[in-house]
């Protein structure tokens, strides 16, 4: 790929000239050989899809008339307003999605600042007008996160050391990384575990990539992966086996009506101002935590097993205060 500085230079020459520019003139102005100029023009045509034509009558290269008003496509050819928007989005994303840009964006942000000049400082100041408060957020090592992103991009198997709990424990094993999931301000990795021969979800902050292979990931369709990850409530895998019905008081109903607990939820409104929320679930852990935070403003109507779990948790909590 040619230097973007050269691409920007030849694009600027073509777009600012009213007459076709001969090859020798482009060589002189860019201090480049004819072969280099032809490679740059080929890049403009085929990679950036710019309508560069050779005018045989005048013996030079030109951009079509329509292209003079067209929006430049990528890289340094962005308009200043577009660069400002992109830079702002990058800075805000760092606040909203921790680690996602932290490991790669330092050089990119510096290039943005150099390009935008004084305007970059205004955008930096604007970002300080936004705050993200994320309780229980776990910090990740930027290098470890970057290794996961690279493995996801290349779709190759990796050997990881996982500082886990429960059935995973602390161990090294090979996985096929499929998807990073941002849930409750923490990152999780959906992957196929080649040790357990099963799809699993791992806490990304407990992963250290120790080796990246060239072996492709075990194949799985996007549709199947999405179904297994997003069908049930919370962070979990598999099809839902139960459907919870939660009755919220009038005090909580307005708030709940504005929230999406699950993509397949249903709402039923009552004459007294209360509301019933129904969501599918497989494991009760995450759902039970969300129910308990509403205290006396919610009652589990169904199923009986979930109602009993929540009642027991409330009873144990109340016993601590007697």
66: CATH: 1.10.10.10
Q: Does the structure show a pLDDT above 60 at 283? A: yes
Q: N- to C-terminal Cα distance for the chain?
A: 72
Same domain, 146 and 225: yes
With 90 as the cut, is the pLDDT of residue 202 above it? yes
pLDDT higher at 94 or 157:
157
- Clarify whether residues 150 and 217 are in a common domain: yes
**Which pair of tokens denotes residue 136?**
């229980």
Domain presence at residue 237 = no
User: Which domain-ending residue is among 200, 229, 258?
Assistant: 229
Beta-carbon count within 10 A of 199 CB: 20
Q: How many CB atoms lie within 10 A of CB 284?
A: 18
Instruction: Kindly state whether residues 206 and 250 are assigned to the same domain.
Output: no
> Does 152 share its domain with 219?
yes
Distance CA 128, CA 135 (A): 19
Same domain (yes/no): 147, 106? no
Mean pLDDT of 35-40: 89
Assigned domain for 301 exists: yes
Distance (Å, whole) CA 141 – CA 99: 8
Please check whether residue 132 lies inside any domain of the structure: no
The pLDDT confidence band at residue 72, using thresholds 50, 70 and 90, is: very low
Query: Of 57, 76, 95, which residue sits at a domain end?
Result: 76
Q: Does 84 lie in the same domain as 65?
A: no
Q: Is residue 292 part of a domain?
A: yes
The reply to whether 206 and 270 lie within a common domain is no
The domain tally of the chain equals: 4
Q: How high is the pLDDT of residue 3?
A: 63
- Give the end of a domain, one of 104, 127, 150: 127
pLDDT of residue 69: 46
Question: Per-residue DSSP letters for 72-128?
Answer: P-SGGGS-HHHHHHHHHHHHHHHHHSTTTTTTTHHHHHHHHHHHHTHHHHHHHHHHT
Q: Are residues 151 and 220 in the same domain?
A: yes
Q: Is pLDDT of 75 > 80?
A: no
Question: Is there a single domain that holds both residue 113 and residue 176?
Answer: no
Q: What is the pLDDT of residues 137-174, one digit of tens each?
A: 888 888 888 899 999 999 999 999 998 765 556 789 99
Look-up of token digits 């009558």: 57
Domain of residue 115 covers 78-127
Q: Is residue 14 part of a domain?
A: yes
In this structure, is residue 119 part of a structural domain? yes
What was the pLDDT predicted at 68? 43
- 207 and 152 within one domain: yes
235 lies in some domain: no
Sheet holding 266-269, edge to edge: 266-269, 275-281, 242-248, 298-302
Q: pLDDT tens digits, residue range 231-261?
A: 999 998 999 999 999 999 999 999 999 999 9
Residue 119 is predicted with a pLDDT of: 78
């Amino acid at each position: 790929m040619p230097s973007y500085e050269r691409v920007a230079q030849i694009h600027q020459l073509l777009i600012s000239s009213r007459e076709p520019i001969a090859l020798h003139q482009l060589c002189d102005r860019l201090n480049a050989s004819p072969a280099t100029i032809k490679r740059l023009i080929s890049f403009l045509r085929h990679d950036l899809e710019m309508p560069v034509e050779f005018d045989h009558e005048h013996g030079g290269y030109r951009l079509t008339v329509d292209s003079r008003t067209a929006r430049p496509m990528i890289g340094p050819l962005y308009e200043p307003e577009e660069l400002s928007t992109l830079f702002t989005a990058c800075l805000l994303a760092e606040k909203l999605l921790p680690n996602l840009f932290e490991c790669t964006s330092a050089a990119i942000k510096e290039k943005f600042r150099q390009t935008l000049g004084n305007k970059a400082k205004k955008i930096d100041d604007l970002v300080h007008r936004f705050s993200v408060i994320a309780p229980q957020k776990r910090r990740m090592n930027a290098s470890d996160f970057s290794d996961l992103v690279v493995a996801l991009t290349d779709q190759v198997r990796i050997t990881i050391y996982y500082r886990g709990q429960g059935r995973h424990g602390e161990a090294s094993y090979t996985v096929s990384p499929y998807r990073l999931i941002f849930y409750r301000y923490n990152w999780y990795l959906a992957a196929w575990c080649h040790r357990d021969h099963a799809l699993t979800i791992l806490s990304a902050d407990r992963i250290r990539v120790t080796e990246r292979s060239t072996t492709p990931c075990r194949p799985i369709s996007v549709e199947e992966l999405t179904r297994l990850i997003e069908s049930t409530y919370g962070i979990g895998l598999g099809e839902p086996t139960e459907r919870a019905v939660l009755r919220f008081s009038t005090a909580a109903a307005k708030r709940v009506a504005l929230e999406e607990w699950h993509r397949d939820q249903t709402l039923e409104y009552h004459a007294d101002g209360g509301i019933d929320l129904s969501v599918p679930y497989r494991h009760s852990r995450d759902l039970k935590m969300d129910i308990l935070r509403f205290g006396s403003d919610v009652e589990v109507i169904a199923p009986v097993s979930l109602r009993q779990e929540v009642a027991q948790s409330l009873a144990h909590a109340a016993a601590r205060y007697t």
